[in-house]
Amino acid sequence: MDNTAIRSRLEELADPGFQSFSSGLLPGVDNVLGVRLPALRKLARQLAKEDWRAYLRQASDASFEEVMLQGMVIGYAPAPLEEWLTEITDFLPKIHNWSVCDSFCSGLKRAREYPEAMWRFLQPCLLDKEEFIVRFGVVMLLMYYTNASHIRQVLPLLERVEHPGYYARMAVAWAISICYVKLPEYTEPFLRDNHLGDFTFNKAIQKIIESRSVDGQTKEKLRRMKRVSQSGAACKPGRALSVP
């Protein structure tokens, strides 16, 4: 299936109402056709069964969905590990919004088959200068490494993420909240003593409080851990001002 056929198929699948809804969630993205994710995944599975290498070599980046589709095909592609990692590397510079980033990560389920290789692959991503490559690294950690085997390594890595971009910091907050919900016995001590920026720390607390998996008493305790400014000054990174 060539680019013309793919574009025609996407336009057939487009829903104007969904296009308007999706565009509202993606500030700065003006090339959304309005194709729902299940339809994109179905098309990606079809392309992955065909000559997916030829498709990726000539794939169009003209719309949000065409970029999203490439990421999904990589997730489904039956490539050997090294080739698969090369395809991921080549795709990373095309990520320019949180939706493509997070959907791409969710489709890379083969990471569970190669945890050590993927772990090594992610390390430079966390230190990258590009916001969405950093977010990719963080979201991959939260999706595939928030477990007892890795939590002692994941939390320090999250603490060291220094990219100032909003979507990178929000990913770190999200990842910490997932760590807390899954493994509070490891994550709560980290929350009490860390060097996260105030924005990231407070967003992590907020996301934990929003979780239905956390009981009311714990939520109240966490609310008291939020950092607040004193006389307009930023509170000192590292510790909450009020810990019960």
DSSP 234: P
Residue 125 belongs to domain with CATH number: 1.25.40
pLDDT digits (tens, 9 = 90+) for 176-217: 999 999 999 999 999 999 999 999 999 999 999 999 999 999
| 3 and 89 both lie in a single domain | yes
| 40 and 132 both lie in a single domain | no
Domain limits at 171? 119-244
| 100 and 153 both lie in a single domain | no
Residue 91 lies in a domain: yes
pLDDT digits (tens, 9 = 90+) for 131-153: 999 999 999 999 999 999 999 99
The pLDDT, as a whole number, for residue 236 is 38
Question: Is the pLDDT assigned to residue 231 strictly greater than 80?
Answer: no
Q: Which residues contact 200 (CB under 8 A, 6 or more apart)?
A: 169, 172, 173, 176
Q: What percent of the chain has pLDDT over 70?
A: 93
Contact 40, 9 (CB under 8 A): no
Q: Give the pTM.
A: 0.91
Average pLDDT estimate for 86-114: 98
The pLDDT, as a whole number, for residue 228 is 84
Q: Rounded distance, CA 92 to CA 132, Å?
A: 8
Roughly what angle, to the nearest 10 degrees, separates helices 64-76 and 98-107? 20
| 134 and 242 both lie in a single domain | yes
Considering its fold, how many domains does the chain have in total? 2
| 61 and 134 both lie in a single domain | no
Q: Rounded distance, CA 187 to CA 6, Å?
A: 45
Q: Rounded distance, CA 104 to CA 210, Å?
A: 25
The pLDDT, as a whole number, for residue 242 is 29
Average pLDDT estimate for 8-16: 96
